Amino acid sequence: MKSETIQATDNSEAADVVPLTADENKAIYKELRWQGLWKNNPGIVQLLGLCPLLAVTNTVTNALGLAIATLFVLVASNTLISLIRHHVQKAIRIPIFVMIIASLVTCVQLLMNAYTYELYLSLGIFIPLIVTNCIIIGRAEAFASKNSVKHAAYDGLMMGLGFGGVLLLLGAIREVLAQGTLLDGIETMLGEWSSVLTITLYHTDTSFLLAALPPGAFIIMGIIIASKNAIDYHLENRAKKKLVSQAEQSIENKG
């Protein structure tokens, strides 16, 4: 693992020197997008940060709040860590990453406390817990510390969006199942005007409790992961079939 890391670092430093062509650059961004949003999605593939993922997704509003906070921390930490990557000795990189991430999260926490007070109260302990979210230190160590600032920031953005997307999906499913609403309590985040955004799909006195509680979160999460795998399987099969039919056609043509 360690030797692999060092090797990767050496490679990228070499790559920094050689200027990339526009096409290569485009390909890198495309790959980062694909990795963050789908193929290597932090929420449903890497399964990082499950604690906040499962705990705060009982409503879309909570999910959105945590998604934005995590996204901001990810982009900022990736950018900062990429900026300092040449100045930090390998031996002390982890404590420095941790300091940067912890300071960023504390700043976000203070800002949310000041400007989105009620949302801050409802997210509670999960804002400071962003520090312990493995995605952030994971991307810092695996990507930002070895790549250029632009790519690192873009990677943070895509990973953050991928994670946030899963949060929102899970939050939406759970909120609809448990309360029959969407975006309930959004005014705690965006101000009074936004209470019109709350959609009530159906009224219920005896809510579907399972969806609101942690076991429901696990079950729905499992279903989402299974669906993702099913889609991947389907796509792969289609690609294979296409390949086979192309091959058959070329054989026929030759014949």
Partner 1 sequence: MILSAISRNGFLLAAFAIICTAAVATVNQLTKPVIAQQEQMALIKTINQLIPEDAYDNEIFASCFEISDDQLLGKGQTQQVFVAKKGNKPVALMLETSTFKGYAGEIKLAIGIFEDGKVAGVRVIRHTETPGLGDKIQTNKSEWIYSFNDKDYQVAQDARWEVKKNGGDIDAFTGATITPRAVTHAVKDALIYFAKHKQQLFNQVANCGDL
- Site residues (CB under 8 A) for partner 1? 58, 87-89, 91-92, 95-96, 99-100, 102-103, 106-107, 110-111, 113-115, 117-118, 121, 178-179, 185, 205-207, 209, 212-213
Q: Which residues touch 241 (CB under 8 Å, ≥6 apart)?
A: none
Strands (E), the chain: 181-182, 199-200
**96-125 b/e with 16+ CB inside 10 Å = b?**
bbeebbeebbeebbeebeeebeebbebbee
Q: Which of residues 32 and 119 has its CB atom nearest to partner 1 in the complex?
A: 119
Cα distances from 20 to residues 24, 26, 72, 145, in angstroms, run 6, 10, 28, 19
Nearest approach in angstroms of CB 13 to partner 1 is 19
Q: Which of residues 158 and 178 has its CB atom nearest to partner 1 in the complex?
A: 178
**Amino acid at the residue 144:** A
Nearest approach in angstroms of CB 103 to partner 1 is 4
Nearest approach in angstroms of CB 122 to partner 1 is 10
| C-alpha span between 78 and 144 (Å, rounded) | 5
Nearest approach in angstroms of CB 84 to partner 1 is 8
CB 43, CB 178: distance < 8 Å: no
Q: Which of residues 32 and 220 has its CB atom nearest to partner 1 in the complex?
A: 220
| C-alpha span between 45 and 176 (Å, rounded) | 24
Nearest approach in angstroms of CB 146 to partner 1 is 19
The length of the chain in residues reads 255
- Which of 185, 148, 164 lies closest to 28 in space, CA to CA? 148
Q: Which of residues 117 and 218 has its CB atom nearest to partner 1 in the complex?
A: 117
Q: Which of residues 23 and 205 has its CB atom nearest to partner 1 in the complex?
A: 205
Q: Which of residues 207 and 246 has its CB atom nearest to partner 1 in the complex?
A: 207
Nearest approach in angstroms of CB 205 to partner 1 is 7
